Structure formats: structure tokens, C-alpha cells
Structure 1
């Protein structure tokens, strides 16, 4: 039972940082926050994503490219230009690494305003950090696992961030339903998004790229949006007056 709870906690806490901080803040700037809170959420991202820490800077830049060039050869992660899920993930990794290492030739407009804390980025992306988190996961499983099959979950812990990204970037461009006509293949993967905290309403998001609430229909509950409203109410973040506009 402890292992199941640990897996669920890691899944949703990691996903929360990805959808709230990396996606809705770093990439789209749907709300603002103080430099101190930005650094706080940087640390939370490292703590919750652990071994699969994704650079908010690289994620933000790459996601902006995805919206600008979706389903073209310049899209960092398009199923239309990848032979398989693994091929897409490998291409995404290369894009990501080039941005992290500053060896890219991306137009500066896509980098404007994207948060960057070099100290935390270096820690999160270091092999010492990734291996350290991985060892911690293994020790937890050795201590609390009650069946052999539980150990099969460990690789997902190692790659939690990329797994979350692959679910949306691959499957939500292949399967699902459409609320809005858009010039790409983005679809809503789940009618009730219990799995991806609103991220699976991908067609909605591609239609209204700056809208903080990804849900539209009565059944499309976005679990991240109440969290955003709570932080806005507490003064930790400030929602932009018109967040239906795209970041551009």
C-alpha cells in the first residue's frame, strides 16, 4: 500500500509542477509571480520531478516552438514527423539538450521572458542529482515493496517527466475528440481528465493557448485550475486579466 501511495504521489506532484510551473507559467505566462516564488517553484520542481527534472527554461522554449510550428518538421515533438513514440521522445531529448546546453539556433523571440535560474538548472540536470534520486526510489521500494511486480514501476519514476510529456505529445495528437477546429492534429484525449490534471484537453489548449482553465465542456474538469485560483487568491501568483490570449 505504501508503494502504491508513493507512486501516485510522485505521479501527481511531478505532473503538477509540469502543468502549473513549466507549462502554464514558463511557456505561456498565464500568470505572474515574484522572483522569490519563482525560485520556490523551481525547487519544488526539482523535489517533485526528482530524477526526471525538466528545465523550466528548456521546457518553456521548446513548448513555444511546439505551438508555433505544430505538426511541421520544425515541431520539436510531432507524431506526424516521427516513426514511433520512441523516435519522437529521442528527437525531443535532443531538442531539449541543445536548449539546455545553449547550442541551439532558436529565434530569441521564443526565449523572451522564459524563467531561468542557472544554479537550480545545473543541480536538477546533473547526473549526481538524477542518480541520487534514482537510488532513493530504489531504496524506498526495497524497504516497502510487498510484491515483485511493484519493482516494475521504478523505471516510470526515473522517467516521470518525459512520460507525462509523451502521453500528451504523442497520444493527444492521435486519439481523442475535438471541440474546436484548429490547424493541427491536437485532440482532447480524455473526457474527464483524472490522469493528466487538465493536460489531456489538448485541442482546447491549442485553440486558446493562453487560457488558464483547459476545460470547456461541463465534464471537462481541469484539476490544476482550482489550484491556480487558490494561489491567485492567496496572492502567490497573479492571473492575467485576459488569459484567453496566446503568449505571442
Structure 2
């Protein structure tokens, strides 16, 4: 895990034009959203609701349900959560899950695509601007998802999800006479939301491999970082997660508040989550994850 990393090979040093251009455009759009002319209470509400839906789609849907199968849910619930997570525009669900499973297999090793030993900026976001070998191995990790035509469609056309969302926001903003109009709601609901969700979720790759404490002696740099946990609905308890990847609950100590886990508890109470896998809680006996 430790030790200096060799420079990237020449084939990986070139920036990917499409991804880099898209990220620049989204960040410019987020800056425009903050202009006073586009400020409105409705914009704040749209941002808050879509932030909740998108982050929860990533943490609850793509991550704990699909990538690690920490619990089971009816197919319509799973697909709805994956659809919410795909709104994050972090590639399609098959690629997202495949890369995440690859990361767990090689966490903080030289072939980890966001290897934290290459530096915080690389782990945070630079890795995605370059050609990474892990993309060629995704099919090794996603056989369960590739059988589903819905997931295959989302993986190919995930960017198109922003079009009906943008059209709806634009229509409502103009119809309701929102300050800043429909364009203001679009800017708050798409580029500003995406930039916030990007950097918040990317902190799990960067900050939680550098800052915080460790409950478990994992063979990587994973750490528990409380402020990342707050922003990411519990994903910041990263050392716990790397110790027990299949646990649907990440916050294991009484003070490790896990918002995503509370949503799973609610789903279970409604009969929409079953076979929930939980790591041993501190103060309880047992070494292996249990079911609840």
C-alpha cells in the first residue's frame, strides 16, 4: 500500500476531452447559478430536495443495495433508488458499481483507480479525467447487473436523464413566476446540484483516506471522518465500511450517526427491506456480520 508511486504511463497522462470538457461546463454553470439574479427560495428548495434524492440514490441505491448487496428490496424499489443515483451523473450504474467493486478489491494499491497514495487531488477527482485500466475490467465485477436491460439502458443513456428534469424545472419556473425564471431553477437543480454532489461524494475517495480515526486495522488508508459522514449521509464512516463492506450499517459506534442507515431502517419497517446485513456493533459479541 505504502511507498511512492511511479509516474503514470504515457497512455494515461492525456486528459480525456469529453469528461474534462463536461466537468468544466458543469462547474461554470454552477458559478452562474450563484449570480444574484438567479436566487430564489424555490431554487433552494429544488436544490435541497434533489440533493437528498441524488445522494441517497448513490449511498442507499448504488452503494449499499446494489454494489454490496447489504440488504434486499423489491425490484421496483431497487430500480427507483438506482434511477435516483444515476441522476448524480457519475457514469451509468453498471460502470459505477463495477469501479466501486474494483476499488474494494485493490483499495489503495497501485492498481486502485483512485489510489490515495497518488495524492488527495488524484483520489478526489483527477483520476476520472484520465484513461484508467480499471474500465476494461468492469465486466468482471458486474455480471449480476448486465443481465438487466434496464440497467444496460441506464448505463448507456444516463446523461439523458437530465433533459426531462431540466425541461420540468424550466417549465415550472416560468409558469410559477419564480425569480430568475425557469433558467434559474435549471441552474440550481442541475449544474449547482451536480457540483455539490460530485465534491461531497468524491470526499469519500479522498478525505476519508487521509483524515479521521480508525476503528479497524484494515490494509488500506480508510478512515472515519465525521464531517464527511454528515455531508454524505453516513458514507464518511469509511474505515468501518472497509472492515465490513457488506454491512448495510456504516456508523457502528453510538456517536457515528448514519443517515442512510436510518432510511434502511425505515424501509425495513415498511416491509421494503429484508435480509439486512449488519456488522457487529461495538459492545456486542461476535466477529462476523449478522443478518437482521
Can you give the 5+ residue segments of structure 2 that lack an aligned partner in the other structure? 1-40, 281-287
Distance 1:163 1:11, change over 3 A: same
Of residues 220-229 and 151-160 in structure 1, the stretch that sits farther from structure 2 once superposed is: 151-160
Distance 1:139 1:73, change over 3 A: farther
Distance 1:70 1:208, change over 3 A: same
Q: TM-score, normalised by structure 2?
A: 0.66
Shift of 1:198: 0.5
1:182 aligns with 218
Alignment partners' CA distance in 1, 2:172 and 2:195: 17
Alignment of structure 1 residues 98-247 onto 2, 5 Å: 99=135, 104-106=136-138, 108=140, 110-114=141-145, 117-119=148-150, 121-123=152-154, 125-126=156-157, 127-134=159-166, 144=178, 155-159=191-195, 161-190=197-226, 193-240=229-276
Larger Rg: 2
The answer on whether the counterparts of 2:99 and 2:134 sit within 8 Å (CA) in structure 1 is no
Residue aligned with 1:76, SS: coil
Residue aligned with 1:193, SS: helix
2:6 aligns with none
CA deviations on 1:105-132 (whole Å, 9 max, x unpaired) are 3573x22434764345535753443355
Shift of 1:199: 0.4
2:109 aligns with 72
Alignment partners' CA distance in 2, 1:193 and 1:64: 20
The answer on whether the counterparts of 2:120 and 2:206 sit within 8 Å (CA) in structure 1 is no
Alignment root-mean-square deviation, CA? 3.6
Alignment partners' CA distance in 1, 2:267 and 2:77: 11
Alignment partners' CA distance in 2, 1:60 and 1:186: 19
Q: Does 2:61 align with 1:33?
A: no
Alignment partners' CA distance in 1, 2:233 and 2:131: 25
Of residues 229-238 and 199-208 in structure 1, the stretch that sits farther from structure 2 once superposed is: 229-238
Would you say how many aligned residue pairs link Structure 1 and Structure 2?
236
Q: TM-score, normalised by structure 1?
A: 0.75
CA deviations on 1:74-128 (whole Å, 9 max, x unpaired) are 212222235724x7524336679985xxxx23573x2243476434553575344
Of residues 160-169 and 227-236 in structure 1, the stretch that sits farther from structure 2 once superposed is: 160-169
Alignment partners' CA distance in 2, 1:98 and 1:206: 19
Can you give the 5+ residue segments of structure 1 that lack an aligned partner in the other structure? none
Of residues 63-72 and 117-126 in structure 1, the stretch that sits farther from structure 2 once superposed is: 117-126
Alignment partners' CA distance in 1, 2:216 and 2:238: 10
Distance 1:42 1:105, change over 3 A: closer
Alignment partners' CA distance in 1, 2:94 and 2:46: 28
Of residues 123-132 and 55-64 in structure 1, the stretch that sits farther from structure 2 once superposed is: 123-132
